[in-house]
Amino acid sequence: MSQSTVHTLPSRGTCPEVIAARNMFGEISSVSEQVERDLKVPAELIQKMNEAGLFNVTVPKVYGGLERSPNDFLSLIEEVSYADSAAGWCTMIYATTALTAASLTPEWGKKIYGDFSPAAITGGATAPTGKAKRVDGGIEVTGRWAWGSGSHHCDWICGGTLFEEDGDILRFENGEPMVHVVYFEKDQVTLLDNWDPSGLRGTGSVDFEVKNAFVPEGRWVLLGAGERHIHEPLFRVPFFGIFASAVASVPVGIARRALDEFTEIARKKIPAWKKSTLNESSIVQLDMGRAEALIESGRRHLHHVMSEIWEKAQKSEKFTTEDRRQMRLAASQATANCVAAVDLLYNAGGGTSIQGTCGLQRHFRDIHAATQHRLVSNQPLQLAGALRLNETAPGMAHL
């Protein structure tokens, strides 16, 4: 797509980092073929994005971060994803991981996220596939995690871990396991070469592992339920809800890009056995209208719900189960809407869509890959439905 193309659905974000990402469109999008081939975003681009402050938006101000509002950083993820889905996905990972800084002890928060220029980059995976045992001065962890998106560029890599004690694992009163997110120095982690997917290829979401890695006392947080040491509004927002919203912002960016690229195709392509260009077809016009409505409604609702949550966070109001439920509904539905929109555009493009030189085939692959993230899958929709029908449901701790 040409850089001069008018975005049909421009991002409404106006914070400096969103504007910086928008201005970097040409630079970010120019590496898309390399990203697909190398299975990771080039280190040079990551460095430039970091220098522009794109990975510092959720780092606490006390550690030299920018601490932007939720909708600002959702718009940032969307804008980067519009330029390149893999770069956007990595931005999402780095931003959401940094949210845990508020739950680190001040000692470790400063050591990991302290006033560095550019900011320290953190990523990892929260799935609890690590096991920890107590040793003098801390814990010893062994584990292997999938989906280590963007880990090649991280200074610290996190892994969800279960703490063993007296022959069992630590649990909440309701019996659900306590998942601790443990921070590893990058030199403690081995990145495995096992990433070759159909979509989101450039995210570098390899497996990673540690073996008998020593972690000093306190270099971890309790996922979704730990004590916060920083109480600013951004860090009061329910973690799983804001995480899911961030994940959903990647498909929003992908779908916006697909809409613009299809517009260019439709204005130029004359289908076989036809005399007029694709954009003259009433069927295609209907598909375009449906696609745009799906993207806009999904995005607007996502940001509307987050605005309501942000207002409560700024007033230090307590979040209800209904607040959390609405966040998860909005994130899953925004994703579903954008997937449906890209499917409409991909099918409307006909044989052109399947060509390797056509961006629609990548957008189709990437957005379907994004649906496999558990936070925007059908699982949260099922949980939200269960909680409307019943007072409690399994999995509420991760709502």
356 shares a domain with 274: yes
Q: Is residue 70 part of a domain?
A: yes
Is residue 11, in this structure, part of any structural domain at all? no
Distance of CA 284 to the CA centre of its chain: 31
**Percent of residues, the chain, with pLDDT higher than 90:** 88
CA nearest neighbour of 288 among 270, 305, 264, 318? 264
Same domain, 147 and 206: yes
Residue 137 lies in a domain: yes
What is the SS3 assignment for the chain?
CCCCCCCCCCCCCCCHHHHHHHHCHHHHHCCHHHHHHHCCCCHHHHHHHHHCCCCCCCCCHHHCCCCCCHHHHHHHHHHHHHHCHHHHHHHHHHHHHHHHHHHCCHHHHHHHHCCCCCCCCEEEEEEEEEEEEEECCEEEEEEEEEEECCHHHCCEEEEEEEEEECCEECECCCCCECCEEEEEEHHHCEECCCCCCCCCHHHCCEEEEEEEEEEECCCEEECCCCCCCCCCHHHCCCHHHHHHHHHHHHHHHHHHHHHHHHHHHHHHCCCCCCCCCHHHCHHHHHHHHHHHHHHHHHHHHHHHHHHHHHHHHHCCCCCCHHHHHHHHHHHHHHHHHHHHHHHHHHHHCHHHHHCCCCHHHHHHHHHHHHCCCHHHCHHHHHHHHHHHHCCCCCCHHHC
C-alpha 183/C-alpha 179 separation (Å) is: 13
Boundary (domain end) residue, out of 171, 200, 222: 222
Q: Structurally, how many domains does the chain consist of?
A: 3
Task: Single out the residue in 222, 247, 276 at which a domain terminates.
Answer: 222
CB 123 within 8 Å of CB 157: yes
In a domain, 7, yes or no: no
pLDDT for 3? 42
| Residues 202 and 317 reside in one and the same domain | no
113: in domain:
no
Domain contains 133? yes
Owning domain of residue 85: 16-103
Task: Please indicate, yes or no, whether residues 167 and 257 belong to a single structural domain of this protein.
Answer: no
Per-residue b or e along 335-358, where b marks 16 or more CB atoms closer than 10 Å to that residue's CB: bbbbbbbbbbbbebbeebbeeeeb
Same-domain pairing of 328 and 284: yes
The answer as to whether 23 is a domain residue is yes
Which residue, 68, 103, 138, sits at the end of a domain? 103
Same domain flag for 268 and 196: no
Cα separation, 147 vs 360, whole angstroms: 24
The pLDDT, as a whole number, for residue 2 is 47
Residue 4 is predicted with a pLDDT of: 42
Q: Are residues 255 and 392 in the same domain?
A: yes
Does 208 share its domain with 327? no
**What tokens were used for 110?**
């400063």
- Show the low-confidence residues of the chain (pLDDT under 50): 2-6
- DSSP-derived pairing of the beta strands 122-135 and 156-165: parallel
Longest distance between any two alpha carbons in the chain, whole Å: 78
pLDDT computed for residue 91 by the predictor: 98
CATH number at residue 139: 2.40.110.10
Q: 67 and 157 share a domain?
A: no
- Asked whether residue 8 is assigned to any structural domain, the reply reads no
For 264-293, letters b (16+ CB in 10 Å) and e give ebbeebeeeeeeeebbebeebeebbeebbe
pLDDT confidence of residue 6 = 45
pLDDT at 21: 97
CATH of the domain at 54: 1.10.540.10
Distance, CA of 254 to CA of 196 (rounded, Å): 20
State residue 154's pLDDT score: 98
Same domain, 376 and 274: yes
Q: Domain containing 318 — which CATH number?
A: 1.20.140.10
Which pLDDT value is given to residue 11?
52
Q: Do 204 and 266 belong to one domain?
A: no
34 and 139 part of one domain:
no
CB contact set of 21 (below 8 Å; sequence gap of 6+): 28, 49, 52, 54, 76, 79, 80, 83
